[in-house]
Structure 1
């Protein structure tokens, strides 16, 4: 028998390399799968809710809390900016000087870009290829502060009250060289003991940014301006952004706001008026929280509430109207380009009587509905489920009632999560929504919201823009169907998504992504002519989003309870969502819809009178429209109002 063929050493070596390489690649693939699974699972658990609406989260610690953003000492870091770069930066920024510095005496205002979605997508897709574009932002240079032009009086910047102060700043890399690409997401906060606001920020797309400071003369004093970098170049929009979060505090600047007697114009800042219907047409708000009372001895009660001020503690004109104590905020109240009425239960019931409110959005709507019923209307209500449809009757006046419907949009199955606008691609879910708008009786007001679950579902900005476009088209089709039946179309309000707080600032529903998604969906809804009004809840929540005192990360209206909160303290603050309840009621109360309903039913009466027989021919227009208005669930101040409107039509 012949000997076996001897082994070829080179063949053995090649075989060994071959199988080793396979083994290594298999290990790499398994490692990537495990990493991806852990990453996605951790993101999903943060928004997980059970059927009893119990919030389940991981214990995540954050580097920066709200207290960290408000130290009492000044911090300016320019150690990486060389003399040469300093000169170059000063020269560059001097070409982008603010136009109205110390001259603009109107209230600071921001507007949503026309074609917001297209412009955002273009910047998101902007190519690199140059050193100034491919570098990473590590610091900033603030013209007018870092170069010492206004940095006097012991390290305190002194500014006049009333006027708008605009500052341009430049993103720089680790060597101090300027960057020439935008998209960085900065968290900017202006705070004092009695003032909290988010200064508006403008991104020029070339590495330079502008923020605007303005404080009313009633709130002069010491302020802290804090600037932090949360994400670089649109990295917050990534499908899994947590590992890209920077969350770095760059500046804390001490500012002294003073009334300048020499500047006579500073005393003529226009007084804000109480909000009217037209004020809700503004796409973006630039509001502030101001404090008009304080009880330092206030303690949490056994039911988890903070009754720090008497319920009838009055508002201070012009910052709000009504009883400030009812908000249970220890003196804080929100105002924007207008100020809001704070409702007592009598006026709230009168406002909502015979109306139908339809909420479509995430579980924050459940909290708002429950808080409105319990705190504002004094109507005892426990958990408001994700699918909710109920006629609410005033227990003290059975003649007063209204209807509230809530449909969850986090998933087409109300027990699921992480779908958002994608839920509208489900046929059964679309038909379920259409059912509420297919009859002669439809909701008076449709309050929309989406964002948190979208942040988890959509893999990139391109896909979300497509989903938002299709969602807007769906709602346009639903409302057109109502209009074609000669039924009064509901007023549509878009309530922007909250600024997620504390640990959630780094996750899939981070403020950078939520602000972008808010802008995209509002842009698409406007293109299709769907929305009538905006409530900018993102702006309302932003000053309180740095920690979890007022939120659990994604909800600002969790019901009060005397128990350990996720930040380790006993109890939590819930007044931000209570303020939202009053803001929504201010929008609902105005009666422009009544006139539209009366006019429409008069036209219907005129066109149908000749073809109907019997009882309709025996009715006059006033009687017919009174019947129709009762059907439409619209609150009317009696026949006098109907006769007045009918008089305009002969």
Structure 2
């Protein structure tokens, strides 16, 4: 049940009936000559950097330990557990979890590499293959490579031109996938800038049984995925499909994941994995409502990979975890957390799907007609409890909510800026939590990384100004999260909002928001969550992972589709909101 709220006073924007068709050239740039955005479906650090990082971390540990000693042995034990969670306990034979290091000066480094001059045969050559010395020998013999489970394995490979010669410049975009019977992850890739690249693999011993497949796809070459019209530059060649086996070694073990707390959202980029904790082999088709209800709704999670009702994800056992694990919320727990809160969303149409799925699948709200591109409504607990929740959502694909393909440039419209501010500068309260997203529309508007960086800086300054006005009114600033833009899937991997461009845009905007002090809550890395499922259209229609379940022909020709990736995002959002 919901009730619409009257919006705060603001200058009128163009009505839906005033919408004009988007510019044909810009539309073509998004879809490679046609299509509908809302189609309904038929670097690991080097030795020196590592030492400096470790020294800085240990210095913080020393200071915190001094404070902890004043609070007693219990605080000291908690501090030690936190330390071991990140670096592992070597004395006990523990290993550490794979992670993505912070990326200082992300925008400047990206621009410098993008603008690196050519001028020599190895620089001007085009990548056609790769050489992975440590894996190619066994693969050529048809044999799997055996690796230790739990360990982090780093592999270096070289980009080769058509003649088999090494290149000496980076910029190629590789999609790397590691899949097993109960494990699916994106190994992080580092572009070293000299034609060499590296990726890291890790599989927890709990999921090491069975064969694994390492797949490497060259999606774009020489930063061509960042071009305005990227579809004509696509390469999309599968260069490797390598069989792997993982074996447990000795008594080494990984630190147990802990449930995410507020501090865990401070990382700019995640390196998680999807694990399968249960499976109903007889559940192959959707039910009459188009849903994959393969497990009982209360089928429990397995610690430490998650906590709560695994069956509620409707994923047939798959669940996502990162440097911490996530609680899956039952309806009563979610309502207790959200009661009286005001959530404010600003982003693309994926936000709309997530809000609707959160209401439907978690909170049990059946009437979600209020959830449109732009709305402000109060929802009541449908079970009869007294709890209420206010949600405001402002679509940012265009300042006119019936149009598309402006993204962050929508903020150049004065009326649109005033509309957003009005929710923060009028009345006796402000939103408790703000979830921001750049969005796929940016891939269609901005002609280069340089122009996007300018737009991102403008957006970050705008939101910094909004928070400043909130504080000036004597209110506490809301907790602000940036939810990274998805990795577009299937056919959309080639288009103007391709994964190469969206990953770069995510990095730029997160950096700008950090520098302007906007991210008071942190980052929710939906790009990492969606990437392992972006190779086809089973979990997405290309540009959405949360389309409502339905029993009809999906984009890949099968009946129904899998929507659990977006359901997982809803629970991750609840962890960010409720576990502070």
The equivalent residue for 1:139 is 129
Poorly superposed stretches of 4+, deviation over 3 Å: 35-49, 150-154
**C-alpha displacement of 1:340:** 0.5
Residue 171 of structure 1 aligns to a residue in which SS?
strand
CA distance in 1, matches of 2:164, 2:300: 52
After TM superposition, list the pairs within 5 Å mapping 1:453-464 onto structure 2.
453-464=441-452
Measure, in 1, the Cα distance between the counterparts of 2:465 and 2:35. 34
- Identify which of 257, 265, 272 aligns with 1:287: 272
- Equivalence map 1:329-344=2 (5 Å): 329-344=315-330
Deviation for aligned residue 1:510: 0.3
For 1:436, what is the secondary structure of its paired residue?
helix
- Asked if 1:115 corresponds to 2:105, the answer is yes
Give 3-state SS (helix, strand or coil) of 1:347's partner.
helix
1:47-77 CA distance string (max 9 Å, x none): 534xxxxx258x9xxxxxxxxxxxxxxxxxx
Gaps of 5+ in 1: 1-34, 50-54, 60-94, 592-650
1:548 match? 537
Which position in structure 2 is the counterpart of 1:271? 256
Match 1:485 to one of 473, 477, 484: 473
User: Residue 220 of structure 2 aligns with which residue?
Assistant: 231
Q: In structure 2, which of residues 262, 279, 295 is the aligned counterpart of residue 309 of structure 1?
A: 295
Q: What is the match of residue 328 of structure 1?
A: 314
User: How much has 1:154 moved relative to structure 2?
Assistant: 5.6
Counterpart for residue 204 of structure 2: 216
Q: Name 2:398's counterpart in structure 1.
A: 411
Matches within 5 A, 1:333-372: 333-372=319-358
Q: Is the 8 A contact 2:139 2:242 kept in 1?
A: no
Q: Can you list the C-alpha shifts for 1:558-589, whole angstroms capped at 9, x where unaligned? A: 00000001110000000000000100001111
Cα distance in structure 2, aligned partners of 1:252 and 1:151: 8
- Secondary structure of the 1:144 match is helix
Cα 1:496–1:484 shift into 2, 3 Å: same
Distance in 1 between residues matched to 2:35 and 2:263, nearest whole Å: 38
Instruction: Please tell me the root mean square deviation across aligned C-alpha atoms, in Å.
Output: 2.2
Q: Is the 8 A contact 2:30 2:496 kept in 1?
A: no
Matched-pair contact (CA < 8 Å) for 2:183–2:275: yes
Q: Tell me the SS of whatever aligns to 2:425.
A: coil
Tell which structure's C-alpha radius of gyration is larger: 1
- Residue of structure 2 aligned with 1:376, choices 348, 352, 362: 362
Residue correspondences, number: 508
User: How does the TM-score come out when normalised to structure 2?
Assistant: 0.84
Q: Which runs of 5+ in 2 are unaligned?
A: 1-23, 52-89
1:248 aligns with 2:237: yes
Distance in 2 (alpha carbons) for counterparts of 1:380 and 1:113? 42
Native 8 Å contact 1:112 1:519 kept in 2: no
Deviation at 1:153, TM superposition (A): 8.9
> Separation in 2 of the partners of 1:44 and 1:367?
26
Matched-pair contact (CA < 8 Å) for 1:43–1:456 = no
Q: Deviations for 1:26-50, whole angstroms, at most 9, x for unmatched residues?
A: xxxxxxxxx968943744854534x
Map residues 76-225 of structure 1 onto 2, 5 A cutoff: 105-146=95-136, 148=137, 155-221=143-209, 222-225=211-214
Q: Secondary structure at the match of 1:145?
A: helix
Task: Give the corresponding residue for 2:72.
Answer: none
Residue pair 1:389, 1:406 contacting (<8 A) in 2 also: yes
Q: For the residues of structure 2 that align with 1:127 and 1:570, how far apart are their CA atoms?
A: 49
Q: What does the per-residue CA deviation read over 1:162-188, in whole Å, with 9 as the maximum and x for residues that have no partner?
A: 110000000010001100010100000
TM-score, normalization by structure 1: 0.76
Q: Is the 8 A contact 1:47 1:554 kept in 2?
A: no
Identify the match of residue 257 of structure 1 among 246, 251, 263: 246
| 1:135-173 deviation digits (Å, cap 9, x = unpaired) | 000000113122x3x669961100000110000000010
Give distance in 1, aligned partners of 2:170 and 2:140. Answer: 31
Secondary structure at the aligned position of 1:389 is classed as strand
CA distance in 1 between counterparts of 2:514 and 2:120 reads: 37
SS of 2:465's partner is: helix
Q: Which residue of structure 2 lines up, in the alignment, with residue 85 of structure 1?
A: none
Distance 1:37 1:444, change over 3 A: closer
Whether contact under 8 Å (1:472, 1:530) holds in the other structure is: yes
Whole-angstrom CA distance in 1 between matches of 2:187 and 2:243? 15
User: Which 10-residue stretch deviates more, 511-520 or 153-162?
Assistant: 153-162
C-alpha distance in 2 between matches for 1:278 and 1:426: 35
Counterpart position of 1:428? 415
Shift of the alpha carbon at 1:112? 3.6
- The residue aligned with 1:402 is 389
1:448 and 2:436 correspond = yes
